[in-house]
Structure formats: C-alpha cells, structure tokens
C-alpha cells in the first residue's frame, strides 16, 4: 500500500469515515441520549407530582406509588421533607442530599450511579421524590444510529473508489510516460483527461517533452553540422601544411592563416551558441544602445545612423555581437548603403537595420534562424549559417523579439522592452 497512491488516498478516506461514524455515535450517546433521559425524568416527575397530592393518606400514597411504578416500569421512593420514607415501589433509594446539597434538587437533578439513572426532585410541598430507572430500560436509538452511519460510510466508500482510482490511474499513466522519456523515447506524450490539476500537469508534461525533443533534435543537428563545418577548414589546413614542403610562399602562409582564422571564428560562434543555449547568466548593466551602435557602425562604409541616446538593460558583449552580426549580414547578404535607426517608444526600443538588397524571401524567414542553414543561392557566400541563430538567442536573452520585413526595403528590426520592463523581467 505504501507504493500505491490510490490505496493510500482510499485508506485515509475510509478511516476518516469510520472516525466520523464513531464520533457521531459517541456524541449521540453522551449528548442526545442524556438529553433524552433528562426530558424523560422531568416529564415523569411532573406526572408524579400530579398523581401524588399531599393531602392523601399514607395508604393512598403507597398505593399510588406502587401503581405508578408498575405502569411506568421504574422504581419510585417518596420521602417527607425530613427525608423519612413515606412510600416505595420495591427498592428504596434515598436522595443524595449530602453529596449535592438540598438546593441542587429544587428543580430536579438526575445522577448516573452504578449503571442506573436516578432523578431526585423536591415536590412543591417539600416532599422528596426519587425515581430510579435502569439505563438498559431507557429507549435508545444508538445502535440504529451507528448502523445507519456505517451504512452511509460503506455507500460513500463504494461510490468514491472509481473516482479515486481514476485520478491515481491518470498519475500512473503519467509516471509511465516519464519513464519512457527516461529511456530515450522523446516522442512520448500523455493524453490530457479533464480540466483539473492532473490535466494541467499532463499538459505541462507534454509541453516540456515537446521542448525537450526540440532541444535534443537541435543539439544533434548542431553537432552533425558543426562536425561537417569543422572538417572543411581542418582539411584545408592539413592540405596546406602538406603543401608547405613544395610551396613555402607568402601566399601559402596567408591561406593557412585565413583557414586558421576561419576555424577560430567557427569555434567561437559554436561556443557562443552553446553558452546561450545553456542559459548561463552574464553580467547586466545599463547600456546606451545608441552609443554602442554608433561605435560598431563606424567600422562599416556607407552606414547611416539615426536616433537618439537610449538606455537599455543588458550585457554589453552580447549586444555588441548582435549589432555586429546584423551589420555583417546587411553588407554580406544585402547591399549598401545600410541605415541603422534607434527608435525609442513608450514601452519599447526598436533597432532597425535597413539595407538596399532584395531581403529574405518569405519562405525562408523562419529557416534562417536554424543553425547552419544556407539558402540555395547562398552556398558559396562567406559565413557558417550561425549568424541569425546567435542573433535570435541574444535577443531572447534580453527579452527582445526579431522581425524580418521586405517592404519597401530589406529590413530587420529588433524590439527590446524598455529598460524598466527589462529589469522587471530579469528580476
């Protein structure tokens, strides 16, 4: 049972029902039963007062006491104000005046002693009336009450088990799916049943499994493409080293340096991709995006900069890389002149990079964000196809979005949240 949630929940539920039944029975026994006895004796005492007037003779009082006791099936003892016996049905029971005092019986008092219930009261003329009733003879519905409560408990237990089993069954199926994910089957999904917390858990599991599958697939694709891309400069370097013995010209050395630089660039971009995907936090600070863009744009010809000083909250190194990659893309894949706009708005800051080229076709707008992607007519163009993926991840790290537009010119815009908004998301 320790390993089955269904049985644990059901056991707790059944024990709670049993505890409620026992408690209800005890309350009935000690509260309802006693209240019933108190009312019984009060009415019996009132009846005895009416049937035992003080002006009757001893014989008449004895006869009345015997008759009442026989009809009512309890013992009666009648005493003078000085507690001298006047009449008794069979067993004589004296009023417990010494234990409680005379004043305690002016309105009647019942005492539970030795399994019997004794009611003692003072009649209006000062006589003492003691009524004794064996507790067994008192009408009681306690047994019927407990049977009724246990019947309800059994009915509730039988009707609730399918519902409890349904919930635990959904959790068991979720556990099975988690185990399948652990074995490597990342396509596993759970059927969402209902709209409760378990359904939300199943939905979260499916979303997490889908994201995990995408990440693992992307990692595998990145590893495969990286291996292919690394092989090309390494092969050229190896070939160049072999050719040094035959051709040790400056041109050969320049080619080797270019290949080594290409390899370093690829390794640097791969490391940045891995760092961004791992979510490693970098130091954040207040940055004047206008000053940063102006510094980077100064390295490019025919680059027109417009805007005004605007403060962003982010990582200086990553934002420099983002601007540099955007400018490189505009000059390599687009056409000069290139315009850069920094447009501050009420709740955001938009960075525009606009060139005079044809832009990215609509069919390829999503594909360019895939690592190592190259368009059909861009196979021999400089680069590794990591520019846009890195830009996208840097933007995501700053809670920004990227949009590609082709009208009226080729344009890429990065929309950053305002500094206060960015700081709220960050912290």
Written as six digits, the tokens of 238 are: 């190896």
The span from the CA of 41 to the CA of 133, in Å, is 9
Strand-strand pairing, 116-122 and 128-134: antiparallel
CB atoms within 10 A of CB 416: 24
Q: Does 200 have pLDDT greater than 60?
A: yes
* Whether pLDDT at 1 is above 50: no
Higher-pLDDT residue of 64 and 339 is: 339
Stretch 335-339: mean pLDDT = 87
Instruction: Quickly state the pLDDT bin for 75 (edges 50, 70, 90).
Output: confident
Q: What is the mean pLDDT of residues 373-382?
A: 58
Over 60: is that where the pLDDT of 33 sits?
Answer: no
DSSP class of residue 342 equals E
Instruction: Report the alpha-carbon angle 115-121-122, nearest 5.
Output: 155
Among all chains, which residue has been given the structure tokens 């407990």? Answer: 146
172 or 6: whose pLDDT is higher? 172
- Rounded to an integer, what distance in angstroms lies between the CA atom of residue 259 and that of residue 276? 26
Q: How far is CA 256 from CA 109, 239, 245, 275, 309, in A?
A: 115, 9, 14, 28, 43
Output the CA angle 357-390-233, nearest 5 degrees: 85
How confident is the model at residue 342, as a pLDDT?
Answer: 92
Q: Does pLDDT of 221 surpass 50? A: yes
Residues 368-391: what's their mean pLDDT?
66
pLDDT band at 199 (very low <50, low <70, confident <90, very high): confident
Tokens of 422: 């960015």
For helices 316-333 and 289-297, angle between their N-to-C axes, nearest 10 degrees: 40
Q: What is the pLDDT of residue 2?
A: 46
Percent of the residues in the chain that have a pLDDT greater than 90, as a whole number: 5
Q: Which residues of 113-144 are buried (b: 16+ CB within 10 A; e: fewer)?
A: eeebbbbbbbbeeebbbbbbbeeeeeebeeee
Percent of all residues in the chain with a pLDDT value above 70, rounded to a whole number:
74
Give the integer Cα–Cα distance in Å for 116 and 176.
Answer: 64
CA 393, CA 318: separation in Å to the nearest integer?
A: 10
Per-residue pLDDT at 138: 44
Lowest mean pLDDT among 65-79, 94-108, 336-350: 94-108
pLDDT of residue 340: 92
- pTM given for the model: 0.48
Count Cβ neighbours within 10 Å for each residue of 226-237 and write b for 16 or more, e otherwise: beebeeebeebb
The answer to whether residues 256 and 274 touch, using CB atoms and an 8 Å cutoff, is no
Give the containing element (helix H, strand E) for 352: strand 348-355
Half-sphere exposure of 167 (CA within 13 A, CB side): 15
Distance, in Å, from the CA atom of 364 to the CA atom of 333, rounded to the nearest integer, reads 14
CB 24: neighbour CB atoms within 10 A?
A: 16
Residue 249 pLDDT:
76
For 386-421, write each residue's pLDDT tens digit.
Answer: 778 888 888 888 889 988 887 667 888 899 987 655
Q: What's the rounded Cα separation, in Å, for the pair 393 and 272?
A: 10
For the stretch 153-162, pLDDT in tens is 777 777 777 7
- What is residue 27's predicted lDDT score, i.e. its pLDDT? 65
Residue 179 reports pLDDT greater than 80:
yes
Most confident of 197-206, 210-219, 344-353: 344-353
Cβ atoms of 356 and 336 within 8 Å: the answer is yes
In the prediction, which pLDDT does 317 show?
Answer: 85
* Residue 355 token pair: 């060139």
Q: Lowest mean pLDDT of 85-99, 101-115, 301-315, name the range.
A: 101-115
- CA gap 250, 260 in Å, rounded: 15
* Among 295, 344, 343, 298, CA closest to 320: 295
pLDDT at residue 36 is higher than 50: yes
Secondary structure class of 382 (helix, strand, coil): coil
Tokens matching residue 40? 């019984």
Mean pLDDT of 53-65: 79
* Beta-bridge mates of residue 405: 411
Average pLDDT for the chain: 76
Using CA atoms, how far apart are residues 389 and 395, in angstroms rounded to an integer? 10
For the chain, domains (ranges, CATH) are 5-143 (3.30.450.20), 194-280 (1.10.287.130), 283-426 (3.30.565.10)
Structure tokens at 323: 């601007």
């Amino acid at each position: 049972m320790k390993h089955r949630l269904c049985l644990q929940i059901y056991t707790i539920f059944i024990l709670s029902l049993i505890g409620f039944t026992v408690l209800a029975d005890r309350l009935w026994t000690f509260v309802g039963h006693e209240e019933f006895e108190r009312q019984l004796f009060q009415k019996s005492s009132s009846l005895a007062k009416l049937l035992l007037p003080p002006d009757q003779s001893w014989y008449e009082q004895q006869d009345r006491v015997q008759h009442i006791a026989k009809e009512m099936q309890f013992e009666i003892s009648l005493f003078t104000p000085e507690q001298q016996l006047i009449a008794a049905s069979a067993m004589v029971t004296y009023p417990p005046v010494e234990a409680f005092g005379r004043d305690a019986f002016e309105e009647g008092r019942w005492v539970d002693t030795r399994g019997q219930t004794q009611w003692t009261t003072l009649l209006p003329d000062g006589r003492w009336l003691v009524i004794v009733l064996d507790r067994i003879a008192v009408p009681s519905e306690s047994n019927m009450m407990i049977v009724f409560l246990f019947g309800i408990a059994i009915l509730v237990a039988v009707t609730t088990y399918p519902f409890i089993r349904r919930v635990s069954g959904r959790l068991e199926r979720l556990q099975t799916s988690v185990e399948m994910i652990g074995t490597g089957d990342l396509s596993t999904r759970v059927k969402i049943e209902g709209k409760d917390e378990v359904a939300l858990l199943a939905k979260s599991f499916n979303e997490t499994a889908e994201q995990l599958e995408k990440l693992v697939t992307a990692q595998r694709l990145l590893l495969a493409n990286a291996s292919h891309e690394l092989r090309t400069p390494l092969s050229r370097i190896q070939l160049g080293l072999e050719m040094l013995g035959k051709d040790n010209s400056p041109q050969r050395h320049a080619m080797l340096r270019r290949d080594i630089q290409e390899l370093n660039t690829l390794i640097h971009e791969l490391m940045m991709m891995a760092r961004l995907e791992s979510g490693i936090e970098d130091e954040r600070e207040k940055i004047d995006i206008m000053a940063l863009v102006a510094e980077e744009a100064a390295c490019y010809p025919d680059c027109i900069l417009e805007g005004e000083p605007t403060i962003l909250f982010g990582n200086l190194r990553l934002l420099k890389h983002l601007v540099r990659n955007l400018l490189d893309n505009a000059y390599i894949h687009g056409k000069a002149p290139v315009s850069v706009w920094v447009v501050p708005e009420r709740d955001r800051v938009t960075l525009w990079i606009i060139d005079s080229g044809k832009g990215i076709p609509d069919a390829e707008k999503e594909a360019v964000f895939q690592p190592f992607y190259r368009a059909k007519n861009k196979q021999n163009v400089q680069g590794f196809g990591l520019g846009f993926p890195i830009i996208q991840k840097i933007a995501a790290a700053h809670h920004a979005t990227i949009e590609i537009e082709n009208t009226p010119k080729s344009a890429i815009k990065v929309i950053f949240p305002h500094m206060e908004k960015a700081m709220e998301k960050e912290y």
